[in-house]
Amino acid sequence: MNFLIIWADQHIRTIRQLDALISETYTLAFIVFILFFGIAIFIANNIAYEGGKNPNDPAKRRTWFIVLGIIAPVLFFLFNYLYVKTTIENPALQSKFTNTNVTATLLVLLLYFIIGFIISKLLKNSKFGTIFPTKK
């Protein structure tokens, strides 16, 4: 597989090239998820605990988590829509890729929030665990 056709200045003309592009798009979706999830964990761990009766640090972590969870799929979708789709010459192939773009974008969004929720519950005594707090 010619990994990352999307970075090359190559135009997609055949079904075979499109299939390779679709595989690369899903791979890129997973990479975007891992990257933004890693950034969210990094930020959560770098927001200091606040003392007192009503600390604001869990809200800051949650806000950053949600903001990154929105930015990741939006950037991914726009990159594919504005750059990758333009390398596909056939309108029928563009339509097929549009379906892939939407599916992969939803994959990034769902993975980010579902895995984030699960990890938050598993690590409930960590800073990342305060993103989705457990009622006491």
Q: Where are the alpha helices (DSSP H) in the chain?
A: 15-46, 57-79, 91-122
pTM of the model: 0.87
pLDDT, one tens digit per residue, over 92-104 is 999 999 999 999 9
Tens of pLDDT, residues 44-86 = 999 888 877 878 888 999 999 999 999 999 999 999 999 999 8
What is the rounded (10 degree) CA torsion for 73, 119, 123, 63?
20
What pLDDT shows up at residue 136?
60
* pLDDT band, residue 40 (cuts 50/70/90): very high
131 vs 1: which has the higher pLDDT: 131
